[in-house]
């Protein structure tokens, strides 16, 4: 495993874990309502869902790569288009009148497990994010690497959650987050579009070459 591939997988797990979404909003709500310990419990439970969805995404990505470059390129194009769509939605987002989920669950850990495993967007976002960041190193992906890929993505997610745990629970932080939520969402939209362009730039030439 090359250093560039190692960093790409770590970055994928980190970005997947820290990017604002339902889970991040929920943990800020729980932290504000019940403190850092409850927020950490929620994230520990939510991490199980992340491991499941990231592992499934990596299996799909490596499987597509082993089947052939065309299958991986098709996956790359679909992932790029999905990320581009998510990015456009984020950039065009408007402030919601509804407050962020408070999530003052009595058992934050179990609430986190259920939340992480039942998020319908988790799998497609994981596939799209990992494909976008790994597409330039597709030729290095093999089944023998899968356990290490899963471990590295897990470590990346832990790094993201460590940062969240460090800041969750402070009402000032949550207030600041909510005040600038729209700007943060739009900034993430720009980031997603960048990932989409990267995925499409690596996938489209391969499809054109194979078709020719």
Query: Which pLDDT score is estimated for 185?
Result: 76
The answer to the question of residue 99 being in a domain is no
In total, how many domains does the chain have? Answer: 1
The reported pLDDT for the residue numbered 99 is 45
> Does residue 130 lie in a domain region?
yes
**pTM: predicted TM-score of the whole model, two decimal places:** 0.72
How large is the average pLDDT for residues 160-178?
A: 78
Q: Is 157 exposed, middle or buried (0-12, 13-18, 19+ CB in 10 A)?
A: buried
In a domain, 165, yes or no: yes
Which residue range is the domain that position 155 belongs to? 1-94+105-208
Q: How much is the average pLDDT of 110-139?
A: 82
DSSP state of 192: H
- Of all residues in the chain, the percent with pLDDT exceeding 70 is 87
Q: Lowest mean pLDDT of 29-43, 53-67, 153-167, name the range.
A: 29-43
- 42: in domain: yes
Q: What values do phi and psi take at 133, rounded to 5?
A: -85, -20
């Amino acid at each position: 495993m090359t250093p560039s591939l190692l960093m790409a997988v770590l970055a994928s797990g980190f970005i997947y874990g820290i990017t604002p979404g339902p889970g991040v909003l929920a943990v800020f709500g729980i932290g504000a309502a019940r403190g850092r310990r409850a927020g950490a419990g929620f994230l520990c439970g939510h991490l199980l869902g992340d491991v499941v969805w990231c592992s499934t995404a990596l299996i799909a990505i490596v499987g597509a790569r082993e089947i052939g470059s065309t299958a991986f390129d098709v996956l790359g194009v679909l992932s790029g288009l999905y990320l581009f769509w998510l990015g456009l939605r984020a950039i065009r987002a408007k402030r919601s009148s509804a407050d962020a989920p408070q999530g003052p669950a009595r058992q934050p850990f179990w609430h986190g497990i259920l939340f992480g495993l039942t998020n319908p967007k988790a799998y497609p976002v994981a596939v799209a994010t990992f494909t976008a960041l790994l597409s330039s190193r597709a030729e290095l992906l093999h089944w023998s690497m899968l356990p290490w890929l899963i471990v590295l993505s897990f470590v990346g997610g832990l790094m993201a959650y460590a940062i969240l745990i460090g800041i969750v629970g402070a009402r000032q932080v949550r207030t600041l987050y909510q005040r600038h939520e729209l700007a943060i969402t739009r900034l993430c939209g720009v980031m997603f579009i960048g990932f989409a362009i990267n995925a499409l730039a690596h996938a489209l030439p391969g499809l054109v070459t194979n078709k020719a």
